[in-house]
Amino acid sequence: MPALCRLQDGGDFAADPYPRHECGIFGVFGHPNAAEITYFGLYALQHRGQESAGIVASEGDDATFRMHRGMGLVSQVFDEPKLKELRGNRAIGHVRYSTTGSSTIKNAQPIVVNCARGQIAIAHNGNLVNANILRDELEAAGSIFQTTSDSEVILHLMIQPRREGHEATLVSALRRVQGAFSLVILGERELIAARDPHGFRPLCLGRLDGAWVVSSETCAFDLIRADYVRDVEPGEIVVVDGNGIRSIRYVDPSHSSAFCVFEHVYFARPDSVLMGSFVSETRKRMGRELARLHPAEADIVIPVPDSGNYAAQGFAEESGIPFEQAFVRNHYIGRTFLQPTQLIRDFNVRVKLNLIKEMVRGKRVVVVDDSVVRGTTARARVVNLREVGAKEVHLRVSCPPHRFPCFYGIDFPDKKDLLANQMTRAEIAKYLGVDSIGYLDVDGMIRATGRKGSEFCVACFTGDYPVGFDARLDKMILEQQRRRTGSLVEEETAHPRLF
């Protein structure tokens, strides 16, 4: 998988053109080295978030939670001494890309609260569309927030007193929040995994030496040698405690699902299993569908690594055109504080992908990429190909054109910044400088998954949103709201106390 920070144009993230996305979550219950297992789980999920990482661990009932969080990659945030401090047989962890709230340490997860019902920690993947409304309501009732993350809203709803007990409180909280959420929650006596009624984001259960593990993707199970058991179902709460494991359905099982199809296209690691199929095979099938829909007369097919690799293989196999790895990816780059625009033209493109010139010189080239969002970097790649002597450049994209923003946990930009929303197909080809362009259509994309179209959210392609939202919604809405009201709390306060 490619590194994150793949949002085009501007700021610290200018180096990559693709959508940034949600987060990765992981949990362990019943293993003597829970924090270490969680560390390796997060390491496998690093592609889902590179802004911050955190782990909360506990030794058992009523034991004080131990937590460490930091900005940066998992390997930068944790070392052996820090992991040894996180003693316990249960833990949850999180790698973050901010979809609501800014990239600061106060918004890093897991978030821990100490309240009347004890200690609770939460890690969240997804994005709530009614967080601002609920937060206003909770603050009016006296709640004090320490972050601008929508995840904290869930915690405040969970600590509301109810006579029915803790599980009823959780069910009530999850029925009130709207949007996308896959959660791992650590209580003093239990580990909880939960998924929203539409199942926007993945979440799965596994077993390791008698312990239960929870992960955003199955690739984490492979690293720690855990056995995949099943997915957490949409609208399901799974509770693991000293008595074993049990399931709570908090919505009707017939509720319509809306799994994010872009997990198949780009987000998930190719060695993960989604909806019963390896992501790598699904992407190959997308490439085959693309070759049938938009054939090209060319000498070679080259992928944009890494996310375009499997689709390009499928395109090459279906079309009979030789597959070559002409782009070489540098995997060892982070952000650069220096933007040497006068020294190296298109530095942000060239530093990540370099061309093997002899492979493309004088040839008709099909370039296969997983998506084109704003097009700036795709355009720079085409310039690079022309400069080294490519005779023709044909771009093939293994998903439909992105025409609408996402409000469920992917940082797609505003409509006005989406290339396909502002230009016709012919205008896009001219802007990118390609001889032809072809996008996979929605039907072909769904066929490649082997599932029914009714199971997916395809709103970023069609504008058909399965859950309504505030039209003003963006990732900074809670911060903007706090600034307007003057109620953003910057220092620690009591009730509840956040660690």
Strands of 497-498's sheet in order across: 244-249, 236-241, 190-195, 179-186, 118-128, 111-115, 497-498
The 8-class DSSP code of residue 242 comes to T
- What ranges do the domains of the chain cover? 11-257+485-498, 273-331+340-453
The tens digit of pLDDT for each residue in 220-260 reads 999 999 999 999 999 999 999 999 999 999 998 777 899 99
Spatial separation of the C-alpha atoms in residues 416 and 422, rounded to whole Å: 7
DSSP β-ladder status, 456-457 and 259-260: parallel
Contact 185, 198 (CB under 8 A): no
Q: How far apart are CA 260 and CA 467, in angstroms?
A: 13
* Tokens coding 498: 């956040």
**Cβ contacts of 231 within 8 Å, gap of 6 or more:** 202, 203, 204, 205
Structural Rg of the chain based on CA atoms = 23
Domain 11-257+485-498: assigned CATH number: 3.60.20.10
Closest CA to 99 of 5, 22, 172, 185: 22
The gap from C-alpha 182 to its chain's centroid, in whole angstroms, comes to: 11
Is-contact 274 268, C-beta < 8 A? yes
One-letter amino acid at 187 equals G
Positions marked active-site:
23
The CA distance from 10 to 17, in Å, is 10
Cα separation, 61 vs 55, in Å, equals 18
Q: How far apart are CA 53 and CA 345, in angstroms?
A: 34
CB atoms closer than 10 angstroms to residue 424 = 9
Burial 436-450 (b: 16+ CB within 10 A, else e): bbbbbbbebbbbbbe
432-438-443-447 Cα dihedral, nearest 10 degrees: -110
So what's the pLDDT on residue 497?
A: 30
End-to-end CA distance of the chain: 33
Cα distances from 485 to residues 134, 140, 149, 152, 489, in angstroms, run 15, 12, 17, 18, 11
- The CATH architecture one would assign to domain 273-331+340-453 is 3-Layer(aba) Sandwich (3.40)
> pLDDT 10s digit of each residue in the chain, 499 long?
332 222 222 223 233 444 444 699 999 999 999 999 999 999 999 999 999 999 999 998 778 999 999 999 999 999 999 999 999 999 999 998 755 455 578 889 999 998 877 899 999 999 999 999 999 999 998 888 888 888 899 999 988 776 677 788 899 999 999 999 999 999 999 999 999 999 999 999 999 999 999 999 999 999 999 999 999 999 999 999 999 999 999 998 777 899 999 999 999 999 999 999 999 999 999 999 999 999 999 999 999 999 899 999 999 999 999 999 999 988 776 544 444 444 555 666 677 889 999 999 999 999 999 999 989 889 999 999 999 999 999 999 999 999 999 999 887 768 888 999 999 999 999 999 999 999 999 999 999 999 999 999 999 999 999 998 876 655 444 444 444 444 433 332 223 333 2
